[in-house]
Structures are given as structure tokens and as C-alpha cells.
A and B are shown apart, each in its own frame.
Chain A
Amino acid sequence: MMPSADLVLVLVLLSNFFLLGSSRLRAIVNGTALQGVLLGALTLLVHHELSLEPILVAVGATAIKAVVIPGMLTRAMREADIRREVEPFIGYVASLLLGAAGTGLAMVYARTLPLAPQHAGSLLVSTSLGTVVTGFLLLTTRRKAITQVAGYLVLENGVFIMGLTLIEAVPFFVEVGVLLDLLVAIFVMGIMLLQISREFASLDTTRLSSLKE
């Protein structure tokens, strides 16, 4: 694995911590956009020879993850007129610590898995798991629906990184299918976001608690 790819992976890990520590929704949306750009670059770096397909996947991933989806989230933010995450269920410092612990555990766990020779010493698997943990933390500890969508996006980014270890097994059209599914999922979530903000005049998901036993 090329050292430049590992450098990008370290940047992805840093962006995870940035997301966990941010309270402004603007910063969170920008953080996910940055991750989108990093993943696009990573797609190009892990391929040994650059043919048309990896370039298309890289461009598609960057376009969807760094431009289209952040654009939809920004629009939802503007329509609902909210800027900040309020009082997450777990504080920012605590979620940073949890994120660090989760990433550390993911690294330790990834070391116990037998890696293929071409990935020995690479950060791909551990970064993937660390990013999945980050996404999961954002999803479960934040109140605003927009942050939850961003958390889902980060989780998907983690899965995407894992997919990069398998460039031979995952054919082009599967990559495209997965990206399209992600796009449609976020699109539907965006529509629901607007409905929620109209219906409840808020994007606070704690308002969504009338259904229980």
C-alpha cells in the first residue's frame, strides 16, 4: 500500500474527531463533505493502474458524498432554520473520548484479523471500522435529525473504505448501485426531514416520541 493512501486515511480519522467535537451543523455538513473528497482521492490511490472505471467511481463518490448530499443537508438546514446541535445525549468531550476509545478498539480488533499480504501494515481496515464507529456514535447520541443523517453518511463512508480493500471482488456496477442507493436513501431522508420540520416546527428528534408502549 502506498504511503500516500495511509496519509489520506489518517486525515479521514482526523475528520471523524472533528465531526464528533462539532456543535455547529454547518461544520458537521462541511466535515462530511471533506470526507467525501478524501474518499474520492482514496479510491484513486488504492488502484494500482488507473482505468476508466475507478476514475468514474472516484468522481461519482466525490460528486455524491462531497457535493450533492451536503447540498441537500444544507438546504434542509436553511429551510428548518437551525444551526446548532443542542445538548446532545452525550456531551462533546465525552463523545470525543468515546470516539477515540472506539477507534482504538477498532484498530486493536483489526490487528487480530488476518490481513491479506497486500494490506499488511495498511490502515484501510482499521480506518474503516473506526469510521463506522464514529458514524454510529453520531447517530445515537445526537438529537437533530440532520446530524443523524450525517451520522448515517459517515457510517456508509466507513463501509465504503472497507469496499476499497476489495476492488477486485466488487465490480463497477455494484459500486454504482451502492452509491445510487445511498443517494436515494439520503434523498428520501431529506424529504422526511422537511416534513418533520413542517409538522413539528423543529428537527429535534426527541419530539418524535409519541409512539411507545
Chain B
Amino acid sequence: MAIAIVIVPLALALLAAALPSAAWRGRLLPVGGAAHLAMTVSLLRTPSVDAFEGWVHLDGAGRLVLGFCSVLYFFTSLYAAGYLAAHPERPNRLFTACFLAFIGAFSLVAEAHHLALMWIAIEATTLASAPMLYFHRNPRALEATWKYLLIGSVAIAIALLGSLFLAYAALSSGMRPTLLFDDLVRDGPTLSRPWVRAAFLLLFVGYGTKMGLAPMHTWKPDAYGEAPGMVGALLAGVLTSAPFLAILRVYRVCGAAGDAAFMQRVLLAAGLFSMAVAAVFMVRQRDLKRMLAYSSVEHMGILSVGVGLGGAGFFGSLLHLVNNGLTKGVLFLAAANIHRAYASKSTEDVRGTIHRLPASGALFLAGFFAVTGSPPFGPFLSEFTILNAAVSTGRYGVAALFLGLLVLVFLGMGATVVGVVQGKPSGGGGLTDQRDTFASVAPGAALLAIVLMLGVYVPAPLDHLLREVAASLEAAR
């Protein structure tokens, strides 16, 4: 099963590339999503997943990320099938193949227990997602894809250099070099400190760029702005989880090498800076999808702050990873419906969505409240946990800054969202006859229901998993 979850999506991708019928290619996506979800459930129920002499091993963090991403991917694939069915005129061969290959590569990221194997898989997710960005085939999408591809590839090359540095840290202190996580954690105390520190900085710059932490976030507004909404959901929820998972694993290694405090300082600073940059650019943002991109920058910052704080912050950060990913799914799928109905994503054209698209407008509004951390949604719980971690460790300055930036984002984003949802539907722009349908609304609504549930009740298996991963991070100090 550990191998099938990588191979089956790749095989379906080949099938999609070979199928002559565009309609059947579209129908293949939910098949892939359902198969992936079924295999994920089966893997999560297996106590120990190992293959290839420890190279493939599903650890706690991998289980967490694979689990929620599979749920998000499944609902996104349902939406994508509806979208492609409604737009038979758009060429979809490359898109469907990449859509399926993407989740295969991502599954390998979650399972890889070897830094270089993980690197190969993360690079593969980047390459599989680039053609999806270019779905609309216009000059703006081309520009966004080019920047995404170039910045992403360079970032990932720097991360590879960092991985090699980490292996060299063992060689330099006279041991057998290795890139297996467990061996690195075990050998941690004997690793050469200067190499570990340099490795961490390179890995942080590389994978931090892929996450979209400021100031390495410049690709994000362009990519999320020009990609179809369903691709935005995958990028903001699934793709960015892969480098975060890598940073968590690197954190464990550097922690074992005795350099956790340095890492946490860097993560805390980068996290707060990302939140600040996002807050500034979200005020008076006129483009709905770019606004969501800055929201993603903000939330990557929150994840980074949580790990930077440590203690309860680990738990908060991991829970927030799940909450933010699923909420981004709600927002991007709702934004996709709005974009389709108004043929515009500018706040100048889009007004009164609650009248024109009652369900999508309501989802967008609810998603906004959820993502800005309003109770009773899940992100409230996780953001509160992180804030609590700052207060309980006596870092009142950090806590005040964290809270202040959250409020600022709420106000900035709120002004835009309220303008879009309320008001009289404008006659301007190229209004289409797009209405809310079951296929366009149900996937987002289902995701919102999960986000709402996570706000009031975290299921016991998820809670156990979160505690286990948080404890392993805590033990790395």
C-alpha cells in the first residue's frame, strides 16, 4: 500500500494522458481522489508502514499531512470534475494528467524518510503543479507560471545543497554520512555544528521559499492569482504542506544536534515578518485571489511562529496546518465560483455575491471568518493555542505582536470580503450565466463542515496523532 499510493495516481495520470475523451479524463479525477483517500485511510490504520530499508516510512508527521491533504484533495477533485464538465471547450489533457501525478508525488513526500528522496518528491510536486497553473493559457498565467517554475526550482536546488551539507556534517566528524532521518536524528549530537547550522539556513531558505514565507513569497500572489481556484486550493493546502513537513523533519535533526534554539529564533522571526508583510499587502487588496495568496503567506507565518515558540506552540502549529489547509480549500473553491460567475476577480466588478451566488457567497464569508480565527471554527482553536504558548512562556512582546497582526489582517481582509459579499450586484464586468449548482458548492461546503467540526471537537485519533508529533518535536530539543 505504501508503494501503491504513489504508483496508482501516477498510473492514472498516464491513463488520463492517453484517454482520447476529454469528458472521461475529467471523470477520472474523482476516481483518483477517492482511490487516494481509500489508500490513505488504509495506511493510517496500519500501525507501521515501512519499505525499502527505512527509506520509506510513514512517521507521525507524515500521517498527519497525508491524512488531511488526502481529504482536501478528494473534495478538490470532485470540484474539478464539475468544473471540467462545465467547460468542455478547454483542453484538459495536460491538466488532468498533472492533477493526478501531483498527488502521487505528494504521497511520496509524506512517506519519504530520506532527505534526498523527499527532495526528489518535492521537486516532482513543483513540476507537476506548474502546468496546472498555466491552465488558462493567457499571458498573465504564463508570467505567473514562469516565475513559479524558476523561483521554485532555484529554491529547491538550494534545499538540495542544504541536504548535502547535512550529510557532510556527519562525514566531517568522521562518521558514515547518511541522509536517512532516523540515522541523522540518532547521530545528531556528534554532527559537526558549523555544517549543521549552514545546512539549516540553506534548507530554511529553500523550503521556506516553497512554503511562501516572506520575504521569499514573491511567487505566491502571482501563482495563486492566475491559477484556477481549484489549483489554488491544492497549492495553498497540499503543496505548501510538503516543505513545511520537510522543515519539521529538519528541525528534529538540528534539534538532536543541539541547535534547536537557533532554529526557533529564525522561525519565529520569519513567521512574524511573514504575518506583517501579509497584513500590509492585504489592506486595500483589489484582487480576490491575490488576497487569498497573502492570507496563505500569513498562515505560513503562523505555522512558523508556532514551531518557533515551541511547547504548546508545536501542537498549535500542527493543528493549524490542518485547519488552514482545509479552510483554504473552502475559500479557493468559493472564490473560483465567484470568478466564474463574474468573469472577474477584481473587487471593482465583484459585488453582492450573496444575492447572485447565495451559497458561494455564504461559503466565502464563512471561510473568511474561519481563516481569520473567529470562533467557532478550527483556526480559532489553533491560533489561540499558539498565542497561549507565547503568553505562557512569558514572551509578551511576541504575543502582543502576534495578536496585533491577526487583528490587522482581520480588518484588512474583512473590508475587502464585506465589499464583495454585500452590496448590490453590479451590472458591469462580463457577467456570465454561472449559478450555484450542487457540484460547484458541495465540495466547499463539506470542507467547511470539517473546519467547523475541528473548532468544537478534535476527534480522538487526530488528537493522539497531534500529541505524538508535538511530543517528538519537543523531545528534539
* Given A116-B168, A155-B154, A211-B225, CB of A181 within 8 Å of CB of B161: no
- By secondary structure, the B interface counts as helix
A188 nearest CB across to chain B (Å): 6
Say if the beta carbon of A51 comes within 8 Å of chain B. Answer: no
* Given A189-B149, A211-B221, CB of A181 within 8 Å of CB of B123: yes
CA distance A113 to B173 in the complex (A): 11
Determine if A200 and B149 form an interchain contact, defined as CB atoms under 8 angstroms apart: no
B122 nearest CB across to chain A (Å): 10
Determine if B146 and A174 form an interchain contact, defined as CB atoms under 8 angstroms apart: no
* Given A155-B154, A170-B167, A211-B140, CB of A112 within 8 Å of CB of B176: no
A164 nearest CB across to chain B (Å): 10
Of A139, A158, A188, which one neighbours B127 at CB under 8 angstroms?
A188
Determine if A116 and B127 form an interchain contact, defined as CB atoms under 8 angstroms apart: no
User: Given the complex, which residues of B lie within 8 Å of A177, measured CB to CB?
Assistant: 116-117, 120
Q: Smallest CB-CB separation from B159: which chain A residue? A: A159
* Given A211-B222, A211-B225, CB of A188 within 8 Å of CB of B149: yes
* Given A114-B194, A188-B131, CB of A159 within 8 Å of CB of B172: no
Determine if B146 and A192 form an interchain contact, defined as CB atoms under 8 angstroms apart: yes
B356 nearest CB across to chain A (Å): 27
Of B150, B173, B179, B281, which one neighbours A169 at CB under 8 angstroms?
B179
Say if the beta carbon of B93 comes within 8 Å of chain A. Answer: no
User: Given the complex, which residues of B lie within 8 Å of A112, measured CB to CB?
Assistant: 194
* Given A165-B168, A205-B146, CB of A159 within 8 Å of CB of B177: no
Q: Smallest CB-CB separation from A211: which chain B residue? A: B222
Say if the beta carbon of B145 comes within 8 Å of chain A. Answer: yes
B368 nearest CB across to chain A (Å): 21
A85 nearest CB across to chain B (Å): 16
User: Given the complex, which residues of A lie within 8 Å of B117, measured CB to CB?
Assistant: 174, 177
Determine if B160 and A159 form an interchain contact, defined as CB atoms under 8 angstroms apart: yes
Q: Smallest CB-CB separation from B151: which chain A residue? A: A139
User: Given the complex, which residues of A lie within 8 Å of B120, measured CB to CB?
Assistant: 174, 177-178, 181
User: Given the complex, which residues of A lie within 8 Å of B154, measured CB to CB?
Assistant: 136, 139, 152, 155
* Given A169-B171, A210-B139, CB of A192 within 8 Å of CB of B149: yes
Say if the beta carbon of A7 comes within 8 Å of chain B. Answer: no
Say if the beta carbon of B178 comes within 8 Å of chain A. Answer: yes
Say if the beta carbon of B192 comes within 8 Å of chain A. Answer: yes
* Chain B window 138-163, contacts with chain A (Cβ cutoff 8 Å), 1 for yes, 0 for no: 01101111110110011001101100
* Given A113-B172, A148-B150, CB of A200 within 8 Å of CB of B123: no
Say if the beta carbon of A162 comes within 8 Å of chain B. Answer: yes
Determine if A163 and B164 form an interchain contact, defined as CB atoms under 8 angstroms apart: yes
Quick one: which of B123, B145, B174 has the most chain A CB within 10 A?
B123
CA distance A177 to B119 in the complex (A): 10
CA distance A192 to B123 in the complex (A): 17
B134 nearest CB across to chain A (Å): 8
CA distance A144 to B119 in the complex (A): 28
Determine if A208 and B143 form an interchain contact, defined as CB atoms under 8 angstroms apart: yes
A72 nearest CB across to chain B (Å): 15
* Given A113-B198, A211-B140, CB of A168 within 8 Å of CB of B150: no
User: Given the complex, which residues of B lie within 8 Å of A210, measured CB to CB?
Assistant: 139-140, 143
Say if the beta carbon of B124 comes within 8 Å of chain A. Answer: yes
* Given A155-B154, A195-B142, CB of A116 within 8 Å of CB of B174: yes
B294 nearest CB across to chain A (Å): 10
Q: Smallest CB-CB separation from A145: which chain B residue? A: B146
User: Given the complex, which residues of B lie within 8 Å of A149, measured CB to CB?
Assistant: 150
Say if the beta carbon of A196 comes within 8 Å of chain B. Answer: yes
Determine if A113 and B142 form an interchain contact, defined as CB atoms under 8 angstroms apart: no
Determine if A159 and B161 form an interchain contact, defined as CB atoms under 8 angstroms apart: yes
* Interface residue ranges of B90-140 to A (CB < 8 Å): 114, 116-117, 119-120, 123-124, 127, 130-131, 134, 139-140
* Given A181-B120, A211-B222, CB of A115 within 8 Å of CB of B172: yes
A62 nearest CB across to chain B (Å): 19
CA distance A61 to B131 in the complex (A): 26
A110 nearest CB across to chain B (Å): 10
A53 nearest CB across to chain B (Å): 15
Determine if A181 and B144 form an interchain contact, defined as CB atoms under 8 angstroms apart: no
Determine if B161 and A132 form an interchain contact, defined as CB atoms under 8 angstroms apart: yes
User: Given the complex, which residues of B lie within 8 Å of A163, measured CB to CB?
Assistant: 164
Determine if B143 and A158 form an interchain contact, defined as CB atoms under 8 angstroms apart: no
Quick one: which of B142, B150, B165, B221 has the most chain A CB within 10 A?
B150
Determine if A152 and B157 form an interchain contact, defined as CB atoms under 8 angstroms apart: yes
User: Given the complex, which residues of B lie within 8 Å of A192, measured CB to CB?
Assistant: 130, 134, 142, 145-146, 149
CA distance A165 to B168 in the complex (A): 8
User: Given the complex, which residues of A lie within 8 Å of B178, measured CB to CB?
Assistant: 169
Determine if B149 and A165 form an interchain contact, defined as CB atoms under 8 angstroms apart: no
User: Given the complex, which residues of A lie within 8 Å of B402, measured CB to CB?
Assistant: none
Task: Give 14 CB contacts A-B under 8 Å.
Answer: A113-B172, A113-B194, A113-B195, A113-B198, A152-B157, A155-B157, A159-B161, A159-B164, A162-B168, A169-B170, A169-B178, A184-B127, A208-B142, A211-B144
Extra contacts, 5 of them, besides A211-B147, A211-B222, A213-B281 (Cβ < 8 A), are: A113-B198, A166-B167, A181-B120, A188-B149, A209-B143
- The residues of A with any CB-CB pair to B shorter than 8 Å are 112-117, 128, 132, 136, 139, 145, 148-149, 152, 155-156, 158-159, 162-163, 165-166, 168-170, 174, 177-178, 181, 184-185, 188-189, 192, 195-196, 199-200, 205, 208-211, 213
Interchain residue pairs A-B with the least CB separation, the first 7: A169-B177, A177-B120, A208-B143, A174-B116, A211-B222, A169-B167, A181-B123
